[in-house]
Amino acid sequence: MKRKALLKAVAGVVAATTVLTACGANDKPAQTGGEVKPGGTVRLLNDSATQQYDPAKSGSLVVTALGLVHRRLTSWKVAPGQDTTIIPDLATDTGRPTEGGKTWTFTLKDNVKYNDGSPIKAQDIKWGLERTYAAAFSGGLTYHKDLLSPGLAYKGPFEGGKELDSIETPDDKTIVFHLARPYGDWNWIASTPAFSPVPKGKGQEADYGNHPVASGPYVLEKYERGKEARLVRNPHWDRATDDTRKANPDTIVFQLGQDTSVISKRLIDDSGDDQSAFSIPFASPAQLAQIQANPSAKSRVVTSESGALAYLTLNTQRGKLVDPKVRQAFQYAVDKAAYQVASAGNAQLAGDIATTLITPGLQGREQFDLYPAPPSGDPEKAKKLLAEAGLPNGLDGLVLATRNENSYPEKAAAIQAALARANIKITIKALDEDTYTSEVDTKGISDYDLTLTSWQPDIPSANANIQPLFQSTEIGNGGVNESRYANPEVDRLITEAQATLDPAEAGKKWAALDKKILGDSPVVPLIYTRNSFLHGSKFGNVVIGRFPAYPDYRQFGLIQ
């Protein structure tokens, strides 16, 4: 897949890794003061100036904004304290694999309609997927692309009207996918935005996302970049066909381009319409102190159990870092406790220390630690490994690339200080998002020795934790294998795990890959970040499950 990391790609979700308490999600009731009832207007305050409602261009999770307007073949059941499970959405089931998982068949439910009252057809799912191959409609998640068109030979439906032959629609309700190879997670992939229906023949205009045809409970009534996205009810959405979307509010207003400090102040003050509001981004550490000092605001914070994996990448194709023993020294040199403090002020606020690649909440994850050390690290052990690798005086002249936002410069400084204890001297280069993507993710050969970043999977599968970050095909061209890790045996095992249909068996294979990759030390796991969200006193049903570490927008409503 060729796209930015999820924490930047998700439409409508930009959350900092700071929290108020160490409690799990929803330890404090989200709907203090009463029961959520249908009706009214909720406001979601967003610091981003844009939202993407074209499913071909979106990396939005099932639980966020796009899912209010567009349905998909499958969906997720999310609940606090429970693993996220797959359930049908537009389809009658979660897919029927044959040929060992190389062919998947779905049947659409009865009475599923667009906002104009016309029926949703299997051909519309196919058309929506075909749109994603056109260059003008790139930018969304791409797990499906190479599986349906090896080598991406297919270029979309707009020039010459060519169809994607790997997708069959024998009738209006049946869609059959013929994949290039067996793929056990195809039912999860069918929950990504590309599997949203677009009426066949529509969506050829570049601004389709400003006026999409809706299949979900809401229609995009108004979109004004930097100001507002307004969703109103879809009169032809049938609640009886949809098990996940509560569709409580009559109207959902995203206020775009808001200053984060202003958002925080509005919700702390909790007056007027802001009592019915929710913050998509979270406050800075300085603002957290204000919230902690306000009992009312503190009671209106909901925190995830876990979240993205924050990690330090080591460029396995550059200089002395080609030696695994040199890379293993970094596992002991880092000070994860200092990283926690730099992230959010203290360990409790930041998230738990990480020792695995697969994040908590995913099936098959195993807890282990190949490099046991105190939270502050073991610089003497790091020095010993460097000496054994022929570097008794350590390393000098390394360059660490990181983003210049969300306290990344402070976190990079903590890494720099920790490495210095082990005689590893680095220079930090803080880059804006576009430059970081261009210099680190687009180039096949990076000029940087280290990068500091984070990752949360696009789907609740360890596949989405491991494959994007460590398969050799994800080096450069927008991929996120920033360690430039290329191991043919790991590539083979990834393909083998992806082909496994039984989730439990696949989980074991992904856990084994977690250990195998970490044995090569292409990255240093730092923490599993937590996310927290503040809402007004009349805003209810702020639900966060074990995955993802974001609230389920489908449940939102007003306490009346």
- pLDDT digit string (tens) for 220-273? 999 999 999 999 999 999 999 999 999 999 999 999 999 988 999 999 999 999
Report the pLDDT value the prediction gives residue 284, as an integer from 0 to 100.
59
Q: Which of 224-233, 285-294, 437-446 has the lowest mean pLDDT?
A: 285-294
pLDDT band at 474 (very low <50, low <70, confident <90, very high): very high
Give yes or no for residue 465 having a pLDDT over 80.
yes
Q: b or e along 374-395 (b: 16 or more beta carbons within 10 Å of the residue's beta carbon)?
A: eeebbbebbbebbeebebeebb
Q: Which of 119-123, 305-309, 470-474 has the lowest mean pLDDT?
A: 305-309
> Do the Cβ atoms of 181 and 88 come closer than 8 Å?
no
pLDDT band at 138 (very low <50, low <70, confident <90, very high): confident
pLDDT band at 347 (very low <50, low <70, confident <90, very high): confident
What are all long-range contacts of 149-153, with beta carbons under 8 Å and residues at least 24 apart? 150/180
Give yes or no for residue 306 having a pLDDT over 90.
no
Report the pLDDT value the prediction gives residue 442, as an integer from 0 to 100.
82
pTM, 2 dp: 0.90
Give yes or no for residue 559 having a pLDDT over 70.
yes
pLDDT band at 285 (very low <50, low <70, confident <90, very high): low
CATH 3.10.105.10 residue window(s) in the chain: 309-529
Gap between the Cα atoms of 51 and 137, Å rounded: 15
Q: For residue 131, how far is the Cα from the chain centroid?
A: 22
CA distances from 315 to 240, 454, 486, 491 (A): 51, 16, 11, 18
pLDDT band at 321 (very low <50, low <70, confident <90, very high): very high
Give yes or no for residue 16 having a pLDDT over 80.
no
pLDDT band at 1 (very low <50, low <70, confident <90, very high): very low
Gap between the Cα atoms of 441 and 468, Å rounded: 12
Report the pLDDT value the prediction gives residue 14, as an integer from 0 to 100.
32
Give yes or no for residue 214 having a pLDDT over 90.
yes
Q: For residue 296, how far is the Cα from the chain centroid?
A: 30
Helices (H), 389-452: 408-421, 433-436
Contacting residues for 162 by C-beta, under 8 A, at least 6 apart: 154, 155
Q: Which of 82-91, 100-109, 384-393, 442-451 has the lowest mean pLDDT?
A: 442-451
Gap between the Cα atoms of 482 and 321, Å rounded: 13
What average pLDDT does the segment 424-439 reach? 92
Gap between the Cα atoms of 303 and 204, Å rounded: 41
User: Over the stretch 142-182, which tens digit does the pLDDT of each residue have?
Assistant: 999 999 999 999 999 998 889 999 999 999 999 999 999 99
- Pairing between β-strand 523-529 and β-strand 450-455 as defined by DSSP bridges: unpaired
Give yes or no for residue 25 having a pLDDT over 90.
no
Report the pLDDT value the prediction gives residue 282, as an integer from 0 to 100.
63
State which CATH number among 3.10.105.10, 1.10.760.10, 3.30.70.890, 1.20.1250.20 fits the domain covering 309-529: 3.10.105.10
Closest to 27 measured CA to CA, from 550, 560, 544: 544
Give yes or no for residue 60 having a pLDDT over 70.
yes
What average pLDDT does the segment 510-531 reach? 96
Report the pLDDT value the prediction gives residue 4, as an integer from 0 to 100.
40
Q: Within the chain, how many helices (H) and strands (E) appear?
A: 17, 22
- Pairing between β-strand 539-540 and β-strand 424-431 as defined by DSSP bridges: unpaired
Report the pLDDT value the prediction gives residue 374, as an integer from 0 to 100.
97
Report the pLDDT value the prediction gives residue 17, as an integer from 0 to 100.
30
CATH 3.40.190.10 residue window(s) in the chain: 6-233+532-559
The pLDDT mean for the chain works out to: 90
Give yes or no for residue 345 having a pLDDT over 80.
no
CATH class of the domain comprising 6-233+532-559: alpha beta
pLDDT band at 29 (very low <50, low <70, confident <90, very high): very low
